Amino acid sequence: MKKKPKICRVLLAILAIFLAFTFLQILLNPIRWPRMATRQYILWHTPMGTNIHDVVEFARSRDDWRVHYVSFERGFLPPGRSSIDSLVGEQSIRVNWGSYGAWYKPLHGTHVSVLWGFDSDGNLTDVLVHKTMGG
């Protein structure tokens, strides 16, 4: 009879460890944070006014990021906008940060990209974190 409570305690301990690991994975990984918190994380590393070359260097130093493009000729078009009047900045960088998903929904991941806009002198003026849900 005494084995049953011990098994329950072991199972509860395993469940608690699993839940703590899952919570820490979300808490400590900025890619999983809300969009504005992720943007603040990016701005902490690349504050407004940072030169485009420094941002490129920062992005390329990250193992989990893939620089999609660097444009010295035009800004970026925010997702969902189609007008050239909606361009942000006069130069831009787009990085594919990666994807994440929940273990219980493996086919419905979230893809995260970061777009930086720069003025004509190459100084950072805006950052956009774009998240798209897969399906």
pLDDT of residue 3: 62
| Helix locations, 29-118, DSSP H | 35-45, 52-61
pLDDT of residue 18: 87
Q: Return per-residue pLDDT of the chain as tens, 135 residues.
A: 456 778 888 888 898 888 888 777 777 789 888 999 999 999 999 999 999 999 999 999 999 899 999 999 999 988 877 777 778 999 999 999 988 876 666 667 889 999 999 999 999 999 999 999 875
β-strand partners of 67: 95
Backbone angles phi, psi at 10, to 5 degrees: -65, -45
| Residue 38 near residue 31, CB atoms below 8 Å | yes
